[in-house]
Chains A and B, each alone.
Chain A
């Protein structure tokens, strides 16, 4: 079955840039979606189709991909960015919706 791999945690100082990777086979051929989830709250879509930012999401959030890795980048990190971030794709070969394990972003 198709799988997405994320590091359990990433730490960054306020004002710095955070990069959260998501690895999967042929990821560059798939639309990768990213979600931000604060404790006790539902996820919020912050990047769709690898690079597109939904309305209302700050420009500090951006996405990219290269080969088998998609990356969520958050520039000028703020304390409010501290949350879990999960990547997600739809595997058309198996018709399965797949989530990565999630990465806890800690703002130091």
Chain B
């Protein structure tokens, strides 16, 4: 079954850019929707953005001005950049796949999550 693995720095300085990559294995990145989701300490899940394998993107309106999601199908990877980070961006960041070929389907595969601390 599909496996997702996040990678990137665990510590980012305020005002700098947070960059994460999700590597998809045991399955193709094509014809699926892929999301980044985060969870601040003690808080609920917050969706950040999604991307389809053709490169179409949609962002959380509250984060849109500071976030970019991209995909590299040749590497079976998709990525997230969060600009001008503050302590409020400290969270566990998950990459995930939406089931089927529609974003409205449930999220059936998740990465293990990576902790990013802004300090």
Binding site for B on A (CB under 8 A): 1, 31, 33, 35, 37, 41-45, 48-49, 54, 86, 88, 90, 92, 94-102
Contact = CB atoms under 8 A, between A and B. Distances in A.
A45 B46 CA distance: 16
B94 to A, nearest CB: 6
Interface residues of B, number: 24
Contacts, number: 64
A95 B52 CA distance: 13
A26 to B, nearest CB: 14
Contact of B99 (A43, A48, A101): A48
A45 B47 contact: no
Nearest to A54: B108
Given A42-B110, A42-B113, A45-B108, A96 B44 contact: no
Nearest to A32: B106
Contacts of A102: 44-45
